[in-house]
Structure 1
Amino acid sequence: MSRPPLAGEETGAVDTAAPAPPGLWRNRDFNLLWTGQCLSDLGGAMADLALPLLVLQQTGSPTRAGVVGTAGLITTLVCRLPAGVLADRFDRRRLMIVCDLLRLAVYALLGWAVLKGAAGLPVILVVVIAGAAATAVFSTAEHASVRSLVRPDQLAFAVARNEARTYGTSLAGPPLGGLLFGLGRSLPFLGNALSFLVSLVAVRCIGRPLQQPRAEPAAPVGASTAEGLRFLLGHPFLRALLVIAAPLNMAFTGMIFAMTLALRRAGVAPVTVGLAGTVFALGGLLGAFAAPALQRRLRLPVLITLLCWTTAALMAVSTLLSGTVLAAVPLAAAVFLGPTANAALFGHQAAVTPDHLQGRVVSGVLLAAGSAAALAPALAGALLSRWPPAPAMLVFPALVLLAALTATFSKGIRTMPT
């Protein structure tokens, strides 16, 4: 489908004397969206740490704290496909504003309830479920909107910027959330509500449309969902993306979870275990900054294949060091390579998917990857209960091996244009 030209793009003959179009850092609309989501993600990371602490303090039950976390994950997975339909059916800007309003309201309500001593488990569950549903819709609409805000040659770099945002907030959010919770139990939740207000204002200030005009009336929900899935499964590259993204996400989640359990079993102090988690996130953050340079130097098929095989090897090395802090080093190196793969794959996905299908295709990919990752902690726990850490954790590099074989032999990857 055609796309309206961005500011600085030529629609006629090429003028070799014209100045180069502005870079991504000078793209006002993308930077508004990115900055708003930086603060929103930071608020979410603060609340994610504070919620189980609040439940433990209120009930004294780790099981109930786990139920709250599981409720959020299940809600996100259930809402993924409907979120894609909504992102393609309605105005994406208005949809994101409504989601921010809902999240602002429920987390402000939770902060107020904590202040009044009325934040029981039912209130917390309602807030978590409503917030997770709104976040699933918002994130899908945001993914689908990026294609309308940046030039085609900037798509992969925009995804890399978003990866850096994710890893950066995962580094800063939990310590800040813990600090605020110590100062006042309501502060992380009120801070999260404030972050959604900032996100709302940023989205409202974006000047460009976040989707192309819809010339045809929307199909019924069932037919609309089926149309997106048919396109996703019928496109060679997108089929390969599913087979690569799902095992990669599952392997990373499972390795990090299993590494944490193995370190605790070996008697490593909790503060050192936490430091290992920081190393993982720092590896991803540095990898996100390096992603544009790696993408410029390697063709996409070579890049994806190299990253998958390298990640499988690094994870295998990490299993040999399981139970020691040194195991975090090769795993951090593997996480370092992840943002480049995500940027290349999801940037290309945005380029090959028509705008009117972006939401449904993105939601399908995120559903597949998220479902696999959600199973990883349970799989890691079951494996570690049966075998020693090293052989148990070899399952996860084996999953990455599946992704590497797909990247090597899949026609959808080998025929990717530069």
Structure 2
Amino acid sequence: MVQDVTLVDGAGSGPAAARIPPAPLGRNRDFLLLWSGASMSFLANRVTTVAYPLIVLWHTGSPLAMSVVSTAALLPLLLVQLPAGALVDRWDRRRLMLVCELGRVAAVGSVALALAAGRVTVAHLAAVAFTEASLAVFYRLAERGAVRNIVHPAHLSTALSRNEARGRAAGLLGQPGGVLLQSAGRWVPFGFGVLGYLVSAVSLLLIRKDFQQERDPTAGRGRMAGEIAEGMRWLWRQRFLRAAFAYVAGTNVLFQMLALALILRVKEAGLPSATLAIVLGIGGVGGLCGALVGGWVQRRARQRTLLIAGAVAWAVLIGAMGFTREPVLLGALYAGTGFVGAVFNVAAAVYQVRTTPDALQGRVAAAAGLVGSGTNALGSFAGGLLLAAWGALPTVRAIAIAMAVLALLAAVAPDLKGELPDDGTDTDAVG
């Protein structure tokens, strides 16, 4: 069955609307409201996420308690994504995002009040960390699906590029910001979180456009498992997407290993711990730059070309990390990997949003997210084994070789030769 991938713009939907010359994206009031509100939401989440382990360690002095709270914040990536995708496709996106923001205001606000009163517990922090992360999953899936209904089709790649840059900037500012705010007052990061989520909620109320296409109210109301399976079946029938996400899963395993290897690389070289902050900071700047140009690159290169070229670039950059311990050079190489990763994230997001029917956006994005995050634990485990057996330098070089193998596999994979134009559907989706 050929899927409907008609895009939506502010003037209506369908091919006629798509031919209307769009106003500049910078004059799209609704997108600016959505983008700025989501920026505050993402920044608030980054600040509170880094504050949880600091607060636990300060109150208990127990690394185990810190691990419990950190694990609670990661569990929604595995447990919540698939049902969240189905529910996002069932419910009104704007209302759902509002509920998420108000729910996070209540949850994070309870931590701020408990800290101010000196009555916080590990169980309370773990419950709030899980709740906040779960609501973040719902919010992110709904917001991604909403974007293509807020902007003109010609602006979709630019809009998603700015969204990627927003996430990278939130990480750069939020992690040190959370540490600084926590040092000013234990409750302050969570007070900032409340403010950020409130600003986001207000911005949602001010947006005029609908966040989704008109839907049949009687459709898609079966059993949850059936709805989840529908989204996964659709994704599986897309030859290019399923091959690309398998490739992404492989690269994510390698990057989880690389993150651990860099830490050990700094330690084995006898460098101060602050060196790692320098390396990661420079790397974050590279990711931000890649996000800013990602839309431009996506419009000028095929997806398959980006996949193969990205893997080759990663192999070269990671390989070079195995031959230097100079902090600035390590940071520059890590920035290069972040640049390539951000460009690829933008291109992948544009392709997935454009080719996925609006009614399946949540489920397909959730399945894709599960593939990406689901391999993280495997990468960390495998990385620990290799580092224990080989040490940092041989592990980094092995990662580079594995990345080169992925590039070779991508070059010969027949399914990666079947990418679609913006208005196409996958040939494997017929049946």
The interval holding the TM-score normalised by the smaller chain is over 0.9
Name which of 229, 236, 240 aligns with 1:237: 240
Aligned residues: 415
Residue by residue over 1:243-269, the C-alpha shift from the partner in whole angstroms, topping out at 9 and shown as x without a partner, is 122122333333123202321233211
Distance in 2 (CA, whole Å) between partners of 1:60 and 1:13 is: 60
Kept after mapping to 2: 8 A contact 1:99/1:135: yes
Distance in 2 (CA, whole Å) between partners of 1:413 and 1:321 is: 35
Residue by residue over 1:204-256, the C-alpha shift from the partner in whole angstroms, topping out at 9 and shown as x without a partner, is 22211111122242222111111111011111122022112212233333312
Deviation of 1:182 after TM superposition, in Å, equals 1.1
**1:214 to 2:218 alignment:** no
Structure 2 unaligned blocks of 5 or more: 422-431
Coordinate RMSD, CA, aligned: 2.2
Residue by residue over 1:304-363, the C-alpha shift from the partner in whole angstroms, topping out at 9 and shown as x without a partner, is 321222112211222333686533322211211111111111211111111111100000
SS in 2 for 1:320: coil
Distance in 1 (CA, whole Å) between partners of 2:157 and 2:409 is: 21
Deviation of 1:186 after TM superposition, in Å, equals 0.2
Deviation of 1:406 after TM superposition, in Å, equals 4.6
Kept after mapping to 2: 8 A contact 1:76/1:136: yes
Q: Normalization by structure 2: what TM-score?
A: 0.90
| Paired-residue identity, % | 34
Distance in 2 (CA, whole Å) between partners of 1:410 and 1:142 is: 32
Assess, with a 3 A threshold, how the Cα gap between structure 1 residues 115 and 267 changes in structure 2: closer, same or farther.
Answer: same
**2:245 maps to amino acid:** L
Kept after mapping to 2: 8 A contact 1:56/1:65: yes
| 1:372 corresponding residue in structure 2 | 375
**1:413 to 2:416 alignment:** yes
SS in 2 for 1:209: coil
Distance in 1 (CA, whole Å) between partners of 2:295 and 2:200 is: 26
Assess, with a 3 A threshold, how the Cα gap between structure 1 residues 27 and 326 changes in structure 2: closer, same or farther.
Answer: same
Assess, with a 3 A threshold, how the Cα gap between structure 1 residues 346 and 410 changes in structure 2: closer, same or farther.
Answer: farther
Name which of 1, 6, 25 aligns with 2:10: 6
**1:30 maps to amino acid:** F
**1:316 to 2:319 alignment:** yes
| 1:24 corresponding residue in structure 2 | 25
Kept after mapping to 2: 8 A contact 1:243/1:406: no
Distance in 2 (CA, whole Å) between partners of 1:25 and 1:287 is: 20
Assess, with a 3 A threshold, how the Cα gap between structure 1 residues 11 and 378 changes in structure 2: closer, same or farther.
Answer: closer
| 1:71 corresponding residue in structure 2 | 72
Distance in 1 (CA, whole Å) between partners of 2:18 and 2:151 is: 19
Name which of 275, 286, 293 aligns with 2:289: 286
Assess, with a 3 A threshold, how the Cα gap between structure 1 residues 397 and 27 changes in structure 2: closer, same or farther.
Answer: farther
Distance in 2 (CA, whole Å) between partners of 1:100 and 1:265 is: 44
Distance in 1 (CA, whole Å) between partners of 2:8 and 2:144 is: 18
Q: Which moved more, 1:391-400 or 1:201-210?
A: 391-400
Distance in 2 (CA, whole Å) between partners of 1:14 and 1:283 is: 34
Assess, with a 3 A threshold, how the Cα gap between structure 1 residues 146 and 368 changes in structure 2: closer, same or farther.
Answer: same
Name which of 247, 251, 259 aligns with 2:250: 247
Q: Which moved more, 1:312-321 or 1:324-333?
A: 324-333
**1:166 maps to amino acid:** G
SS in 1 for 2:329: helix
Deviation of 1:41 after TM superposition, in Å, equals 1.3
| 2:44 corresponding residue in structure 1 | 43
**1:132 to 2:136 alignment:** no
